[in-house]
Structure 1
């Protein structure tokens, strides 16, 4: 065998031996796929950017209402991490064994507000039992997330019922597929009032807060996070840990979220 032929065979063998390492590297570099509540869009996007800058690892974010996201995970969508806007949908998956229970944590908190378009004549609204919310709406509708599947909608309905205002406006609801859909209706002037999170109102300069719902009128808003049980992405746990690191919590707090101590 000539020297040239032996050299070519050696190079070929080396190339074959290196293939598993290449495939392994690609598998390890797979982005972490995060299914997250729509209200986290801006802040979580910034956190993902800082995570990549610090670690070199990429995160892919998919935003929607928590209910539909949970249903997608139940249907075997390839998510690695789930961040819900309430405990209900995290419990829904946890009870079915679809989350890694050891990774379930309370990540963030929020508050519920009533908003109006920025140029609306409506200013401060005295949200309390007996307030004529229907009269303030007039012929318009109250924008709100879908009250059975969107956490902000569920919180909003509960708050209205607690204040004994729901019956007067139940036929005036414009229910959106997410809290951001409700926000958009008010932002575009298509609804005179809407119920969203304080962080959503802060993220859109086209709306203003006209009232904050009493904290006692709805359950504490908790955003839990967990690794999806079916995930094989080794970076999922690392990203969950990063969400609780000082840089990430500072970003969330700047957006108006509260962080459990």
Structure 2
């Protein structure tokens, strides 16, 4: 069930307006076209918004080169590249989306790297409980008549990891009919930060970005889901200068922007 379908009494279009009215720290760009002055275009997973935004600004200050970044769920971005959308670099939140592009020969295989790691957490609004045990009884006890916000497992990597973790912990069957499915992990976070859902499954980095509105109440064990990896690669149509930005981004100069947000950096030495 989509979130917009189970809140009776709200004016038509209210929830859409609510989502788009996110605070700057949570707002999700809707994949705008690169500005005329932009030299490079990056398609990146929504959870990278804060870190990559700061890194891109630092690169421009260093080189004068503009970076336009479009944020969304990983697989829809991959499909946009397949459809011909201009992108020089792709950063996904799972291996599957990168594998999809690689299978279509739309990325440069020699440039591909596992760039970042992340953790999966359960969050609640600041007024919610301080801790929730990762059991079906505890989670449903907090939800009551509410919904569990998470990315749609069909297209959002965080949703896939979330479904896997909830299944492994024998929670999924108790919550699968009580979900607020979102089109990105940041949208799921927004539902919790606005108090529209009592719990949500997001990345640790997203929870840090909304620390004033949400709090981490549980961390999913690493063994409950596949390792969370963010691969990065040049697209097959990348401009020559894109390689320099990618190298800087995955190196020691780019690492601090991602570590600050809670990512593990797998490439910097």
Task: Give the Å deviation of 1:247.
Answer: 2.4
Stretches (4+) displaced over 4 A: none
Aligned to 2:235, which of 191, 213, 228?
A: 228
Aligned to 2:193, which of 184, 187, 190?
A: 187
How many corresponding residue pairs?
230
Aligned to 1:208, which of 215, 218, 221?
A: 215
Q: Structure 2: where are the runs of 5+ without partners?
A: 1-36
SS of equivalent to 2:177: helix
What does residue 127 of structure 1 align with?
Answer: 134
Distance 1:30 1:154 in 2: 33
SS of equivalent to 1:73: helix
What does residue 138 of structure 1 align with?
Answer: 144
What does residue 157 of structure 2 align with?
Answer: 151
Measured against aligned partners, the alpha-carbon deviations of 1:205-241 in whole angstroms (never above 9, x if no partner) come to 200000000110001000000011122x121111110
Measured against aligned partners, the alpha-carbon deviations of 1:100-156 in whole angstroms (never above 9, x if no partner) come to 001000110000000000122x1111214x543222210000000011110000000
Q: TM-score, normalised by structure 2?
A: 0.83
Distance 2:47 2:138 in 1: 28
What does residue 84 of structure 1 align with?
Answer: 92
Distance 1:160 1:30, change over 3 A: same
2:224 aligned with 1:217, yes or no?
yes
Aligned to 2:47, which of 35, 39, 45?
A: 39
Cα RMSD (Å): 1.2
Aligned to 1:108, which of 112, 116, 119?
A: 116
- Between 1:148-157 and 1:238-247, the stretch displaced more is 238-247
Aligned to 1:75, which of 51, 72, 83?
A: 83
What does residue 255 of structure 2 align with?
Answer: 249
SS of equivalent to 1:67: helix
What does residue 53 of structure 1 align with?
Answer: 61
Alpha-carbon contact 2:191-2:197 (below 8 Å) kept: yes
Aligned to 2:245, which of 209, 225, 239?
A: 239
SS of equivalent to 1:252: helix
What does residue 26 of structure 2 align with?
Answer: none
Distance 1:124 1:160 in 2: 17
Task: Give the Å deviation of 1:56.
Answer: 1.3
Distance 1:247 1:240 in 2: 11
Task: Give the Å deviation of 1:81.
Answer: 0.6
Q: TM-score, normalised by structure 1?
A: 0.86
Alpha-carbon contact 2:133-2:139 (below 8 Å) kept: no
Alignment of 1:1-40 (within 5 A): 31-40=39-48
Measured against aligned partners, the alpha-carbon deviations of 1:147-196 in whole angstroms (never above 9, x if no partner) come to 11100000000000000110000000100000000000000000000000
Tell which structure's C-alpha radius of gyration is larger. Answer: 1
